[in-house]
Structures are given as structure tokens and as C-alpha cells.
């Protein structure tokens, strides 16, 4: 048996492949090229491994074994084989594009995934660069027997997504949420065996993978073959990121229905004309996305008079065929509560959701304030009698945890079936002061995670509170604050502020001003003695 690869070796080997690409393409695009080749090598090695096992077990010839494997797993033409590709010295990119198209044609679940990245443009990737890359990938075998666990490539994949997010800086936030933050939200919504989990802005699929890992760790959490006992669904707008999510789950040996498109305008998970509903919904949507209702933006653009300054469209005209915005239509500049209402509409009657949002949603007024009040207190008959008391918990996070912004965020947990003991109450946790300081960004430590999760559990089960950290706040108190959920209104951070004696401070300032005049006079005297006063100019 070949020597098994350790995760550490695999990670550094894959990172080296990025160095080969450096200078040829933008670092935020590294992942697309490397993941395609990683997949191709893995696909080849697993095929070869299956053929070798059949030859050994049944004494078949290579040709017969190959035929049997292709009958079972799908056709795998010679042109897509690794040995064919690595032997080439020219038009390598073109051959890779053909190989990926061939694999896609024979594997329906990979349709449009592998061809999302094009290798054939020599202005971007020369034959020399691709030759170096293929040789680099030839160093190790990636069959199941070569890895210490079947979904180990998924672990390496996650590592690389994080590395590329670091490398891509702000762009990284588009496809990656720091793992500790993902783990926190998954623990808080606590998906169970047999549940369906949906992420409407799934990026590279990290929240779905983490949800599956969470379920797999519970009793009855796995099915035959070790697969997690959970149904995964996601949607992603960006083609490259969608392809990565599909590969990420494929390499983790997980099945998921990941659709492509703009979730707000074109939700793809439907039951007939209605939104499909799920046990758990989880997301880190883009913070405060602007101009988020494309149909209105397009019709507004076509109506503009070219001679005049363009007018912004009126978002009161947003008409959603799925009836999601029942608590109100968020403003054009902030899609946050549009995503939250889409998620709420996608929840089963006993479902629970967790969403990461910028702090502003807790206190911004206007239409967002109205939506927040609806989620807390419900709406009257004129607004369709929507239920309130949906917010189970708010967790304030430290600032600078994310790649694309330094602003602090919060986790909002909504629950359609709060237990009786928590009805009319909201758990508020201020976890903003506990983190590891980093150079480019801060991060949550394992102990910070444990503290938030344990505190939330105790508050959920017995309404336990922790001084300066967690309170179980009544809706009456929140109503007294006009539905403002700014955490500092409810949790004192424990720092005593110095009281200011105004009269004494003013007297002190007057004394200082008098002293300053005396010092100026003495300084001018010295300057006059030195004959410098005229040169420097006197004080007015």
C-alpha cells in the first residue's frame, strides 16, 4: 500500500501549487484553477484504484476491469486520463478543458461545475506554467487508500479556501466565512439527524459542510457508508464560487442540492410555485448589499431620461411573487433584512435559523425598524397579522472577524417555535470582548465558542443570566426602547465610567488657560532677548 498522506503534507503541497500560479493570474482566482486540477487528479486516482482492486480481487484483465468500472461509475475516456494529459507539451490548457467537459458529460451532478474555469487561454496560462502545475500534482496519489480518511481532501480544501481568502484579502469574504464563526452559528441552531439544512448564500459551502459534521457527531447522525444523516441544500450567485461549493461537498463525500442564481430575485429551491421549507436555515449573506432587487433596477434604468440625473428606484414598488417580505421591504441600500425574511419564509413551522448580520440591523430606524418591530411584536391586521416573538437570541460578535469588513457583526437566531419558558423573551449575549487579536483580522478562540454556546444553552433551558455578558430580556423592556436591539442598551460591559464634575473641570480649564498665557509671555521675552521675535512673528 502507498504511503498515506498526512493533512499537513497535503496542505503544503497544495499551497506550493499556488506559488506556481503566482504572477500569472489574480490570487483570488487561484482556487478555481487549483481545485479543478485537484479534482481531476483525485478522479483519476480513484478510477485507477478501483480498476486495480478488481484485477486483484477477481483476476480480471486491465481492459475487462476498466470496462466493469466504467459500467458502474460512468464512462471515462482516454482523453481525460491523467497519463494522457501529463505527457503533453503543447495545447495543455485546451486538452484540460476537453477533459473536464468529458467528465461533466458523463456525470450529471458535475454539470457546468468543472468547465466554470477555462484553462485554454494561453495569454493567461502558458503551456510552461501548466506543465509545471501538472508535474507538481503528479507528486502524490489521491486515491482513497492514499488518504488517512475518505474526506481528507475536503479538509485540505477548507484549508486552501481559508488561505486563498487570506491571499485575496477583501475579496475572500465573498466565498469564505471564518470557520470558528461558522461553527458558532451551527452550534446555536443545532441541526439534528434527519434534518434538512439550507444556506441561501452558500459561498463555497462551508456552512453546509459544518452542519453535516455537527449532525454526524450526534447519535444516529450517520447513514450507511458513514454519510451524515442530513439533507443539504444551498444557492450561490457567483458561478466560480458555486462550482467550488459543488466540488467542496463532492470532495467531502457529501451530497447537496446546490443551485445557482440570485436567491432574493430567483430562489431555486421550490415546491411548485412556493418556497421549499427546511428544518434549519443558516447564512452569512453579503453585508448590506445594495440595489438588491434587480427587476426594479432594470425597469428603472430603462425609464431614465438620458439628459437628466438618474433617479433611484422606489423600493416600495418591490413585488415579490413568493410573498417573503411580509414584515416590510428593506431599503435599497441594505438587503440584510431581505435575506433574513427570505430565510424565515424558507423555515418549517418548527424551524430555527441563524444569520450573520452587521450590527446596524439591530438599531437602524425607518423601514428596517418597522421590520424589526414586526419580528419582535408581530403586525396588526392592516399589515396582515404576522406573528411576532420570533427572535430567540442575539449574539454580539467582536469587530474585524471577516475579510470584507472591519465592522462588528451579530448572529441573529430566529425560532418559529420557542419553548413556553422563552416566550416573550429574547436572549442577548455580548461576546464582543472575547477574541484573539490578529494582524489583518481578529478570530474567535475555542474557549470563546464554548462560552457562547454554553451560555446560550443555559439561557435557553433555564433563563440563566451572566453579569455583563448575557441577559434574558422581556419584550416589554424592548418595547420601552421602541424595538431598538442595540446590545449596549441591555448589557452593561462592566466598565465603570468616571463621573465628570462639570464645574470643577471648567475651573481647571480656566487655570490651564491662564498658565498658558504666562508661558507664552515668558517665551516671547526669551525670544526678544535673542532677537528672534521679529523673525518668528509674535502671537496674535
301-313 pLDDT, tens per residue? Answer: 877 766 677 788 9
pLDDT per position as a tens digit, 449-499: 999 999 999 999 999 999 999 999 999 999 999 999 999 999 987 665 566
Helices (H), 238-328: 239-251, 294-303
Secondary element (H or E) of residue 457? helix 446-462
Tens-place pLDDT, residues 216-225? 999 999 998 7
Query: Is the pLDDT score of 1 beyond 50?
Result: no
Write out the three cell numbers for 184. 458558532
The pLDDT, as a whole number, for residue 497 is 54
pLDDT of 309 = 75
Tell me whether strands 256-260 and 231-236 are parallel, antiparallel or unpaired: parallel
Highest mean pLDDT among 44-53, 337-346, 487-496: 337-346
Report DSSP state, residue 361: G
Q: Label residue 535 by pLDDT band (50, 70, 90).
A: low
Summarize pLDDT for 146-176 with one digit per residue, the tens: 887 666 776 777 777 777 766 655 555 566 7
d(CA 172, CA 160): 11
For residues 129-149, average pLDDT = 89
The Cα–Cα gap between 228 and 194 comes to: 9
Query: What is the residue-wise DSSP string for 180-236?
Result: HHHHHHHHHH---TT-EEEETT-TTSHHHHHHHHHHHTSTT-B-GGG-BS-EEEEEE
pLDDT band at 538 (very low <50, low <70, confident <90, very high): very low
Question: Region 428-441: what's the mean pLDDT?
Answer: 89
The answer to whether 287 and 357 are in contact (CB under 8 A) is yes
CB 278 within 8 A of CB 346: yes
Q: Which of 474, 483, 490 is nearest to 426 (CA)?
A: 474
Which pLDDT score, from 0 to 100, does residue 61 have?
Answer: 93
Confidence of residue 108 (pLDDT cuts 50, 70, 90): confident
Q: Give the per-residue pLDDT at 172.
A: 56
Task: Give the closest residue to 45 by CA, choosing from 171, 138, 121, 129.
Answer: 138
Percent of the chain past pLDDT 70, that is, above it, reads 93
Of 173-177, 243-247, 403-407, the least confident: 173-177
The pLDDT mean for the chain works out to 89
Question: Are 202 and 244 contacting, i.e. CB atoms less than 8 angstroms apart?
Answer: no
Backbone angles phi, psi at 390, to 5 degrees: -100, -15
pLDDT at res. 438: 83
Which positions ≥6 away from 518 have C-beta within 8 Å? Answer: none
Amino acid at each position: 500500500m502507498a504511503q498515506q498522506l498526512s493533512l499537513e503534507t497535503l496542505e503544503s503541497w497544495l499551497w506550493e501549487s499556488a506559488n506556481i500560479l503566482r504572477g500569472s493570474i489574480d490570487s483570488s482566482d487561484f482556487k478555481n484553477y487549483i481545485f479543478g486540477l485537484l479534482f481531476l487528479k483525485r478522479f483519476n486516482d480513484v478510477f485507477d484504484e478501483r480498476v486495480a482492486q478488481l484485477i486483484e480481487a477477481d483476476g480480471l484483465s486491465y481492459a475487462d476491469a476498466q470496462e466493469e468500472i466504467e459500467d458502474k461509475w460512468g464512462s471515462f475516456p482516454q482523453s481525460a486520463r491523467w497519463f494522457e494529459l501529463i505527457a503533453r507539451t503543447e495545447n495543455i490548457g485546451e486538452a484540460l478543458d476537453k477533459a473536464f467537459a468529458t467528465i461533466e458529460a458523463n456525470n450529471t451532478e458535475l454539470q457546468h461545475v468543472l468547465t466554470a474555469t477555462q484553462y485554454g487561454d494561453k495569454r493567461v496560462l502558458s503551456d510552461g506554467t501548466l506543465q509545471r502545475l501538472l508535474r507538481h500534482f503528479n507528486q502524490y496519489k489521491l486515491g482513497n487508500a492514499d488518504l488517512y480518511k475518505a474526506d481528507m481532501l475536503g479538509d485540505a480544501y477548507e484549508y486552501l479556501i481559508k488561505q486563498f481568502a487570506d491571499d485575496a484579502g477583501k475579496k475572500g469574504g465573498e466565498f469564505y466565512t471564518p470557520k470558528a464563526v461558522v461553527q458558532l452559528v451551527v452550534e446555536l441552531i443545532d441541526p439534528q439527524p434527519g434534518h434538512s439544512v439550507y444556506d441561501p448564500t452558500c459561498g463555497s459551502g462551508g456552512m453546509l459542510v459544518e452542519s453535516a459534521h455537527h449532525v454526524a457527531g450526534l447519535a444516529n447522525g450517520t447513514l450507511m457508508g458513514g454519510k451524515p444523516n442530513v439533507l443539504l441544500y444551498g444557492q450561490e450567485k457567483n458561478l466560480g464560487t458555486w462550482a467550488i461549493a459543488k466540488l467542496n461537498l463532492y470532495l467531502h463525500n457529501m451530497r447537496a442540492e446546490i443551485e445557482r442564481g440570485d436567491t432574493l430575485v430567483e430562489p431555486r429551491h421550490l415546491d411548485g410555485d412556493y418556497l421549499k421549507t427546511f428544518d434549519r436555515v443558516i447564512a452569512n449573506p453579503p453585508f448590506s448589499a445594495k440595489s438588491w432587487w434587480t427587476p426594479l433596477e432594470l425597469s428603472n434604468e430603462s425609464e431614465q431620461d438620458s439628459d437628466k440625473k438618474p433617479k433611484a428606484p422606489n423600493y416600495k414598488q418591490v413585488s415579490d411573487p413568493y410573498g417573503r417580505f411580509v414584515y416590510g421591504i428593506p431599503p435599497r441600500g441594505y438587503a440584510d433584512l431581505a435575506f433574513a425574511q427570505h430565510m424565515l419564509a424558507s423555515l418549517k413551522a418548527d424551524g430555527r435559523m441563524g444569520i450573520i448580520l452587521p450590527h446596524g440591523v439591530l438599531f437602524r430606524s425607518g423601514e428596517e425598524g418597522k421590520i424589526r418591530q414586526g419580528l419582535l411584536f408581530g403586525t396588526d391586521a392592516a399589515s396582515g397579522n404576522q406573528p411576532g416573538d420570533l427572535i430567540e437570541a442575539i449574539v454580539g460578535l467582536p469587530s474585524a472577524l471577516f475579510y470584507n469588513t472591519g465592522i462588528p457583526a451579530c448572529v441573529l437566531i430566529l425560532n418559529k417555535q420557542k419553548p413556553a419558558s422563552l416566550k416573550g423573551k429574547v436572549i442577548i449575549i455580548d461576546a464582543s470582548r472575547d477574541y484573539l487579536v490578529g494582524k489583518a483580522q481578529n478570530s474567535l478562540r475555542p474557549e470563546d465558542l464554548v462560552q457562547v454556546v454554553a451560555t446560550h444553552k443555559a439561557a435557553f433551558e433555564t433563563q440563566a443570566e451572566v453579569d455583563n455578558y448575557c441577559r434574558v430580556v422581556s419584550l416589554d423592556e424592548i418595547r420601552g426602547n421602541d424595538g431598538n436591539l442595540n446590545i449596549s442598551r441591555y448589557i452593561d460591559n462592566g466598565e465603570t465610567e468616571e463621573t465628570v464634575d462639570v464645574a470643577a473641570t471648567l475651573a481647571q480649564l480656566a487655570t490651564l488657560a491662564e498658565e498658558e498665557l504666562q508661558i507664552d509671555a515668558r517665551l516671547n521675552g526669551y525670544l526678544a532677548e535673542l532677537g528672534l521675535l521679529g523673525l518668528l512673528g509674535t502671537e496674535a
